[in-house]
Structure 1
Amino acid sequence: MVLHEATLFLDLDGTLFELVDNPEDVRADHRTQALIGQLLQHMDGRVAVVSGRSLAQIDDMLGDAAGTLWISGSHGCEYRWDGVIQSPSRPAALDDVAASFRNFAQNQPGVLVEEKSLGVALHYRTAPEAGASALALAQEMAGLHDLYLQHGKSMVELRAGSENKGSAILTMMAHPGLAGTTPVFAGDDVTDEPGFEAVLELGGHAILVGEPRPTLATFRLRSPEELREWLWRATV
């Protein structure tokens, strides 16, 4: 796999960064920011983030490095590249969802609410016993407000739109700056499977980061740390 001839797509949580109990605690350290800079130089700028996080959250996580990347946030609903931003309006129903999720979390120690520009998530990583109740509430609210229910690792999210990381990758790969290159996508969660499918359809490579599980990915790295070290070696 030769990266300097490819376009690299990276998920963030659980892929470039380790999963943590509180999603708001994730920040790129100096070494990770340096890695992003090295990748951009090695690949002539063809480095993209494809994340369920919002554009604003990605900016907070990556700092100055975010401004130089191709970015799709909110599971393919938001985009930014070459200074152009595409972001739909936030559905008013998400305010009702956020209130319901906060009420739920108040009575479930360890459950966290994450509000995004186009979604609201319930995280129960430190309270796995709350998972079934969280899913039931999310299903109820999804039906009530006609929102998309997104499953993930120890979380459920209600969000606008039915786009996914696969549609995000296909949209970006159609851009003249990326078209004709070989896509490589690294991800860890079930939310990344549409992205794996997309890069394989385009003749690219899919990398699962983390423990073995049923997946479309054709390569696997054991952890975000192993991914970062592999990326460093690939830029030498």
Structure 2
Amino acid sequence: MTHLPPPPVDLLRDAALFLDFDGTLVELEEHPDAVAVDARLATLVRRLAEALEGRVAIVSGRPVASIRALFADPPFAISGSHGLEVAWPDGRHERAERPAALDRIVERMHGFATATHGVLVEEKPLGAALHYRAAPYAADAAQALAAALANDAGLHLQTGKMMIEVRVPGADKGTALAALMRAPAMAGRTPVFLGDDDTDEPAMVAARDLGGGGILIGAPRATAARWRLDGVAATLSWLEAATESLAA
């Protein structure tokens, strides 16, 4: 669907809430390290976790450590690296094994970025990404390199907004959501997922298949989501209103 209504303000009653990070809770930046969590967002997510009695998780392509650092050791679950690692509020941390091939891939990507002005490399525990938001002219070359590296190493090629990533296969945001829904705090609740990118579509589908639904953040496009919000500002405002609704 491409033309979607906004989500109702009472949607989170009896829900388990899953939030993408970049492009959903914060605006996209040319480099991931430029992103910060301000007091408004930190307070909002903590209020949501309290109001939903812990039924909140951030599901991100970023590593768990990155999200944890941005939120200063938060009291909610985090699924990072597109579902390849999960951290729980009680300190448990599950993560797939890092293949040795990633070291070679990172080296090749850095060589490409050095020779291609504006391209940045993001190193992750279970993947590596080329960001070309500041160098759109390099999109085709970056995608071709990443595809070749993924094919040679037998790894997964992950597309995204102005980036391309080579990562460990075997998980995505949909499998992450399904796994988190099996946790005692979330089991039996209605999953609601918010995300902006095509990497978020598996989670939209998983939420729908488990009786809930997704909220697309950003411009209309083909999606499995049921609702849509215009962007980050609209998302934060809606989440604040939804939090108030939970308290009413």
Aligned twin of 2:71: 62
Relative to the length of structure 1, the TM-score reads 0.97
Mapped to 2, the partners of 1:116 and 1:232 lie a distance apart of 31
Q: For residues 136-164 of structure 1, what are the alpha-carbon distances to aligned partners after superposition, in whole Å with 9 as ceiling and x for unaligned?
A: 10111111111111000010000112310
Matches within 5 A, 1:4-83: 4-64=13-73, 66=74, 68-81=75-88, 82-83=90-91
Aligned 8 A contact 1:124 1:154 in 2? yes
Alignment partner of 2:237 out of 215, 226, 229: 229
Describe the SS at the equivalent of 2:111: helix
Q: Aligned AA for 1:99?
A: E
Q: Aligned AA for 1:45?
A: G
Aligned 8 A contact 2:130 2:163 in 1? yes
Which structure 1 residue ranges, 4+ long, deviate > 4 Å from structure 2?
none
Q: Aligned AA for 1:69?
A: F
Alignment partner of 2:204 out of 192, 196, 202: 196
Relative contact order, CA 8 A, sep 6+: which one is greater?
Answer: 2
Q: Are residues 1:159 and 2:167 paired?
A: yes
Percent identity, aligned pairs only? Answer: 48
Mapped to 1, the partners of 2:79 and 2:233 lie a distance apart of 23
Q: Are residues 1:114 and 2:129 paired?
A: no
Q: Aligned AA for 2:155?
A: L
Q: For residues 33-82 of structure 1, what are the alpha-carbon distances to aligned partners after superposition, in whole Å with 9 as ceiling and x for unaligned?
A: 11011101111111101001111111122224x3x111110001001113
Structure 1: gaps (5+ residues): none
Aligned 8 A contact 2:54 2:185 in 1? no
Number of residue pairs the alignment of both structures matches? 234
Computed over aligned residues only, the root mean square deviation of the Cα atoms, in angstroms, reads: 1.0
Q: Are residues 1:126 and 2:129 paired?
A: no
Q: Aligned AA for 1:29?
A: D
* Deviation of the 1:113 alpha carbon: 0.2
Q: For residues 64-101 of structure 1, what are the alpha-carbon distances to aligned partners after superposition, in whole Å with 9 as ceiling and x for unaligned?
A: 4x3x1111100010011132110122111111000000
Aligned 8 A contact 1:105 1:112 in 2? yes
Aligned 8 A contact 1:124 1:155 in 2? yes
Relative to the length of structure 2, the TM-score reads 0.92
Aligned 8 A contact 2:82 2:176 in 1? yes
